[in-house]
């Protein structure tokens, strides 16, 4: 039995997204070294680079957040990737296959060794259009759902979400990664990422870090 062309196109879109993401590999064994903020920072930067994400201008940290490190510092790095990303591998007419679409920016935040990241947010301003706003960063599950084209039907969306989520979990070897795709529009985007997280019973505040993105 031949499947309708529309269903085949949708299936090809899911395959394109999955293959494009799976073709990007994070560094193996890049878990941060406990008590060594510099090594942890290098690990996170390598991870972002492997994913094609541009780190912000400088790292950030939460002081008095963890035992075994100078001043209890927990380092973190924010980054951004403008759309279209990661790009389409299979041409499907009429369907945008890019996870992050043109005019969007996906912001990411990777704290070293912190499993929670529920209080991280991004403030952004597009200097080319005068538009700006804020967005709360979500979990990998939230990101997987938000990165897929709206045209995917429910029966394929669940499979695609699982594939993207599993890839991100394998590719990013640090806990607490947060991200959010934002409709910034095209132009030069200024952004600041900051917020509070929980490390066990300790409340940790990550100081703002700033980035400049060409969307």
Per-residue pLDDT of the chain (215 residues; tens, 9 = 90+): 333 433 333 333 333 333 333 333 333 333 343 456 567 667 767 767 777 788 999 989 999 988 877 788 888 889 998 988 765 433 444 555 566 778 999 898 888 777 766 789 999 999 999 999 999 998 777 777 766 666 777 777 777 777 777 766 665 555 567 888 899 999 999 999 999 988 888 889 999 999 999 98
Residue 170 and residue 149 in contact, taking contact as beta carbons nearer than 8 Å: no
Measure the CA–CA gap between 172 and 135, rounded to whole angstroms.
22
What is the DSSP secondary structure assignment for residue 70, as one 8-state letter?
G
Range of the domain at 142: 5-214
Give the CA distances from residue 67 to residues 70, 72, 97, 110, in Å, rounded to whole numbers and listed in that order.
8, 5, 44, 19
Phi, psi (rounded to 5 degrees) for 84? -80, 135
Q: How far apart are CA 110 and CA 176, in angstroms?
A: 7
pTM > 0.85: yes or no: no
The count of structural domains within the chain is 1
Are residues 157 and 18 in contact, defined by beta-carbon separation less than 8 angstroms? no
User: What tokens were used for 107?
Assistant: 């912001």
Q: What CA–CA distances, in Å, run from 41 to 46, 55, 96, 103, 138?
A: 9, 11, 35, 29, 21
């Amino acid at each position: 039995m031949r499947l309708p062309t529309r269903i085949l196109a949708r299936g090809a879109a899911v395959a394109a997204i999955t293959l494009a993401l799976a073709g990007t590999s994070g560094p193996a064994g890049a878990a941060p070294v406990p008590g060594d903020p510099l090594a942890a920072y290098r690990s996170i930067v390598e991870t972002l680079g492997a994913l094609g994400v541009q780190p912000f201008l400088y790292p950030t940290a939460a002081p008095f957040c963890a035992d075994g490190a100078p001043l209890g510092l927990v380092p973190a790095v924010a980054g951004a990737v403008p759309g279209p990303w990661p790009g389409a591998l299979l041409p499907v007419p009429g369907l945008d296959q890019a996870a992050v679409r043109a005019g969007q920016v996906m912001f990411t935040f990777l704290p070293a060794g912190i499993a929670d990241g529920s209080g991280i947010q991004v403030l952004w301003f597009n200097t080319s259009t005068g538009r700006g706003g804020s967005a709360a960063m979500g979990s990998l599950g939230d990101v997987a759902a938000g990165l897929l084209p709206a045209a995917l039907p429910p029966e394929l969306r669940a499979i695609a979400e699982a594939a993207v989520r599993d890839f991100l979990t394998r590719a990013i070897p640090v806990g607490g990664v947060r991200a959010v795709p934002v409709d910034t529009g095209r132009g030069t985007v200024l952004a600041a990422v900051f917020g509070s997280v929980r490390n066990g019973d300790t409340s940790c505040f990550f100081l703002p870090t700033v980035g400049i993105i060409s969307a």
